[in-house]
Each structure stands twice: as structure tokens, then as C-alpha cells.
Chain A
Amino acid sequence: MAENEADAGKDLRLERLTKRFGDFVAVDDLTLTVPRGSFFALLGPSGCGKTTTLRMVAGLEDPSAGRVLIGDQDITHLRPYKRPVNTVFQSYALFPHLSIFENVAFGLRRRGVKDYQQKTRDMLELVQLGPYGDRKPAQLSGGQQQRVALGRALINEPGVLLLDEPLGALDLKLRRQMQIELKRIQTEIDVTFVHVTHDQEEAMTMADTIAVMNHGVIEQMGAPADLYENPVTTFVANFLGQSNLIKTNVIGTSGGEIVLDCHGQKLAVAAARSHADGRSAWLGVRPEKIYASVAGVEDRTDADVLTGGRVTDVSFIGVSTQYLVAMPWGQELMVFEQNTGSRPSFRNGDEVDLMWAPDHAFLLDADQDAHAGMMRPEDRE
């Protein structure tokens, strides 16, 4: 389709996109740009508006306000079938009356592509469903159906491919395999992928850019490493990986660093990593950034040090050992240590000091819930 080729080289832009269902705001004033050919992941908890956002891009939902553009073309009100956009639906939405082959060939045939047969066979091979072409969707397993849905959208080589949790039903091994496959295809055919997922690991390994969404707004957007190392809200800090959030008071600044009082102990954090502007703030440190040492042995002036910790829990994970350390003010902090074998591990009751580099910590506004975005253990993949 000429239209497709012309649009393939353009960015996807959402401008102040809003969707209301009655009084409920599902997507709230969303603005973002997905550069052409990039892999963009939309990450967020259930019900935060991910599917609704994709549906507006696909033309299946009318925005209450705002615009959707591909390049300079405003497609906000273009009918779905005229958009150079294809979707892998969360519910698969395979056509039950058509064979797997016909399902995958559907888009090509509607556009009158001549050699659709060969292309369809190739696509079936790609999603490892070669021998299943004659079956009906009901005769496939959930994971196989999901791969049909993927093939049915991919085969059209659209300008923008929307993937709504396309790997959710696959087992871990197949999922890793499909992740690599997806990433390979995406680089190969230069399609813009907008990938919705619950799985933060999936988002971080695959995406060039991640947007973390919560309650219809984007909390933070950026490269995976930036998001992880320098989260700007407690939600992002907890939703992507795990964080220790410690209550502190800002007492001043000195030489590009913010000086903090933490229950009587003095700490510092790089000013560039501060996203707080009140008197009190949450100091965030990732567990693997903390170094625990036997109490009173090391005195590092270049590091943030918290003294008075006592190990209350030791779990050996294999590559690492995870400690819980109770601090004098009652909070338990997580500390992950690589099992390099260079020193014996701590035991319950050991007295320890905790330290980390000031430019590994981040500072967040104190008026946020320290537990926002935290997943219960059973939700983790």
C-alpha cells in the first residue's frame, strides 16, 4: 500500500490525548512521541489505561480530546482500516471461522497483495506454526493462538505495530524466544513497535524507551537505564525493580549536593538527582547499590553512611544474597550483595553499617506514598 510506505518513515505522536468513560478518566492528557523505527514499551499496572491508549492509536476508540499523528498526518479521526497501524489484541480476536492460514493472510488479502500465499507460509514459519495452517483457532493452545495473533499483525509490515501484552500467555522459555524474535523482526523491518506489558523485565530488555503509566498519566518516560537509575516518583521507583525509600529532611546544599538529615545521621545526594522541593523528602537507594560492612570498621568520607544496622534476615538467592537490615528508627532496608565469594556472608544479628555513593541515590517528594507501585510478591514474574 502506497500509503503505508509513505507513513512508515514517520514518528508516532500523541498530543494531549484524553479518554473519558462517563466521569472516569481512563487516559489523562497524554503527550508523547515515539520515534519511527523505535521500540517503545508502555508499562503499568492493570487498569492504568494502556489498552485504551492503544485503541485510540488504532482508531477503535474515539479520543475525548487531543490528537494522534503519524509524521505530520493527523489520523485522530481516520477510520481504523485506513490507518497504517496494526494491533496484536490482548484477547487475540482471531477469526474462529477461518483457518490459521486465512487468519494470517487476512490483512494481505484485503489489500489485494498478489503473492499472499508465500508470504503467509513464511510468516507461519516465523511464528513456528508451519504445520498448523489448516487448523481452526479453537484447535490451538493459548500460546499458539497468541503467535497467530502476532503473525496476523506482523505480516502487514505496518508503520506502527501495537502489541497489547502479546506474550502474556507464553511460558517463560517461549516468551524469551519470542522476545528475541520480536526484537529481531523489529530491527529488520524497521517498524515502530508500541509494546504494552506488565513485565518490567520484558520492557527493560526489549525497549529503547519505556513509559511508565499509572492512573491514565505517564509518570516517567525514558531509556530503561535512566528510568531505573533515576526514577522521579515513588511509583516508578517501586514499580521498576525495588527501592529503599528513607524519610529524610533537607538541611542545605553544598557544592552540587543536597545535604540531608536522616534520623540524626548526615547524608548527601547529587542535586541533579533530586526531584523533591520540600523540607522533607524520600531518599531512594536501590538494594544492590548498598554496601554493608561490619559496624565501625570502614569509615568512608566520600560515601553516604548509615550506622547502627542489624541484620534480621538473610536469603541466599544464588547469584546474590539478600539481607534485611533493621535500622535504629525501625525501618528495614534491603541490601543485595553479589556472591563474589570474596568475603563471608553476614548472619542474623550481625551489626552492620550501610554505605553507598551519593550519585547512586535519588531524592523524591515526601508527599507521595512510599508504597506506591509496589508489587506483592505473587505479582512478580
Chain B
Amino acid sequence: MSAAPPSPAPRAAVDGETSRRRGLGWLLLVPGMLWLAVFFLFPTIQLFFTSLYDPSGSYEQGYTMTWHVMNYVDAVTDTWNLFVRSFAYAGIATVVCLALSYPLAYAIAFKAGRWKNFLLVLVIAPFFTSFLLRTLAWRTILSDQGPVTSFLQTIAVLPDDGRLLATPVAVIAGLVYNFMPFMTLPLYASLDKVDHRLIEAAGDLYSSPIAGFRRVTFPLSLPGVVSGTLLTFIPACGDYINAELLGTPKQYMVGNRIQSAFLTEHNYPLAASLSLILMAVVVVMVVLYIRRAGTEDLV
């Protein structure tokens, strides 16, 4: 390289190069953007307008747009308890999932040796049958004459006339069961990436296995904890199958209300505003959560 100041020509060439590269980056985004536009953005906008239709309209006579903001107020006063229940169930289910999945993912990542892949297949095996069928099977498992109920009655955890089906326990158990792979897989992925030599180094620096886990392994697995809890909590908030099949109207969640508003009552403005409220609340909670997880006080 000569020491002469760069002439304008090569610089222009460099600029051309970088802008071409940037152009390629955008090009790669196009398919995803299109997909999102068609299947997410347009429906959401449509949903937004629907939520502001006049509630006096009906499925048969059609709706008129009156920017009826009161739909939202009505939706909240009507179903706020369902929201609370949804977030409570989803939250409990997420915590239980985490408690069950973490040791499982840890064992697969660190202790399974050559059984690793086999165990991972087992984790996703439930996906080979339909969500609906599996939840129906849980009806049988938790039924009043079923093995779990009678066992719990025998050991007196459950009173003789106690039941599991049609209780919050059943709904939460269903949520846990159905969403557990979404927790286990990201946890496994980040635990598997943890460098064993770091754990050895912690041991070398006076950390007992427990202290080493707390100071090194767990913090390094946090990305998996965050994505796992999100992947579990978000869909669990909107779920209605578990409440419908394993619960009663007393256990219904927002999803059930949205479903019946859309499909049974054809009250589209109510259903749309409920959906948007749910979406907004979940987004706010997720943003707060990620902000907090990004700092060290989660450790």
C-alpha cells in the first residue's frame, strides 16, 4: 500500500460495495416481511377496525363503523376476571414448566452422554399426535374414576369426593403438559452450549458444585430461561383448549371468551377488542420481562 491519500475513485467503489451488501441484506428480509404483512399485519389492522364497529350490528345484518371505543371498556368490564385468571394460570403453568424442564434439560445436556439425541426425540415425541387428542387423553387420565384421582384419594392427598377434572389443577396441568417442550428445548440449547471448562474453572476457584451452578452454569443458561418462559407463557395466555376440555366455565380463560364471541355469538367487535387487549397486555409484560432479564438482577 502506498502512503498517498486515497483517491476518490476507490472510495466510491467501497461505498458501492457496502451499499450493495446492505441491499442484499434487505433482499433476504423480503420473504419474511411479505409473510408477516399478509398473515399478521393485515389481519391485525382488520382486527383493529372490527374492534371499533358499532356493537348494534350483527352477523346477519352487517356492521357499521362508528369508531365505538366503548367496545374496549365493555370488554374489560365484562371479562377482566378472565384476564386475571388467564395470566394466573399461564404464569403458574410457566413456573411449573420451568421447574420440571430445567432439571430435565440439565440432565440431557450434561449427563445423558450417548442417550442425548434419543431423549431429545422423546421430548418432542408428543408433537407426533394432535394437540386435541392428547388433551382429550388427559381427560381420561384425570377423570374421577381414573388412576391419578384414585391414587391421590388412596394416599389421602385428595378427599374421597375430591376430583381433579374440572378444577384449576387440571387446566394448569394440561397447560404444563402441552407447553413443556417449548420450555425444554430452548433450555437444553443454552445449557448444551455452556463450556464445561468454565464449570471446572469455578470448581478450581473454590466453588462447590452448587455455588458453581449458581454463579456460572445458571447465569449462562439465562438466555434459554428467557426464551423458554416466553415460548410457554405467551401461547398459554391465549389458550382455550385446556380450559374447555379439562375445566368448566368456572375455569374459562380469555381464549374461551374470544372463541365463543367469534364463533358462537358472532359478536365480532367484542371478540376483536378482547384479542387486541390480550395482545397489548402480553406485549407490555414481555417487554418489561425482557428488560429486567437483560440486567443482572435476575441472577
Contacts and interface: CB of A to CB of B under 8 A. Distances in A.
Main SS at interface, chain A: loop
A24 to B, nearest CB: 20
Interface string A65-105: 00000000000000111000111010101111100000000
Contacts of A85: 204
A173 to B, nearest CB: 26
A264 B22 CA distance: 78
Majority DSSP secondary structure for residues of B touching A: helix
A89 B219 CA distance: 21
Q: Interface centre among A110, A111, A152, A153, by most B CB within 10 Å? A: A110
Contact of B201 (A59, A79, A95): A95
B197 A107 contact: no
A79 B207 CA distance: 10
B203 A95 contact: no
Contacts of A91: 197
Contact of B203 (A1, A79, A97, A111): A79
Interface in B174-209: 195, 197-198, 200-208
A42 interface: no
B205 A106 contact: yes
B211 A93 contact: no
A156 interface: yes
Nearest to B211: A110
B273 to A, nearest CB: 43
A87 B204 contact: yes
B95 interface: no
A93 B206 contact: no
Contact of B197 (A79, A80, A93, A111): A93
Contacts, number: 62
Given A93-B200, A110-B211, A156 B216 contact: no
Contacts of B205: 81, 86, 106-107, 110, 152-153, 156
Contacts of A223: none
B104 interface: no
Nearest to B220: A97
Interface string A142-169: 0000000000110010000000000000
Interface string A98-138: 00000000110011000000000000000000000000000
Contacts of B208: 79, 81
A110 B208 CA distance: 9
A381 B117 CA distance: 45
Contacts of B220: 96-97
Interface residues of A, number: 24
Contacts of A81: 203-208, 211-212
A58 B206 CA distance: 11
Nearest to A102: B215
A31 B215 CA distance: 36
A246 B198 CA distance: 50
A232 to B, nearest CB: 35
Nearest to B212: A81
B219 A97 contact: yes
Contacts of B211: 81, 110
Nearest to A87: B204
A346 B213 CA distance: 68
Contacts of A58: 204
A134 to B, nearest CB: 13
Contacts of A225: none
A184 B212 CA distance: 32
Contacts of A94: 201
A80 B216 contact: no
A89 B199 CA distance: 12
B207 A95 contact: no
A60 interface: yes
A107 B200 contact: no
B188 to A, nearest CB: 19
Interface string B55-75: 000000000000000000000
Nearest to B195: A93
Contacts of A79: 203, 208
B222 to A, nearest CB: 8
A156 B197 contact: no
A110 B206 contact: yes
Contacts of B215: 95, 106, 110
B198 A60 contact: no
Contacts of A107: 205-206
Contacts of B207: 81, 106, 110
A89 B204 CA distance: 10
Contacts of B197: 89, 91, 93
A110 B213 CA distance: 13
Given A86-B205, A106-B207, 5 more contacts: A81-B205, A81-B208, A96-B198, A106-B205, A153-B204
13 contacts: A60-B200, A60-B203, A79-B208, A80-B200, A80-B204, A89-B201, A93-B195, A94-B201, A96-B220, A97-B219, A110-B206, A110-B211, A111-B206
For the complex of A and B, the 10 pairs showing the least CB-CB separation, nearest first, are A93-B201, A107-B205, A80-B203, A110-B206, A93-B197, A97-B219, A87-B204, A81-B203, A106-B205, A81-B206
Interface of B: 195, 197-198, 200-208, 211-212, 215-216, 219-220
Interface of A: 1, 58-60, 79-81, 85-87, 89, 91, 93-97, 106-107, 110-111, 152-153, 156
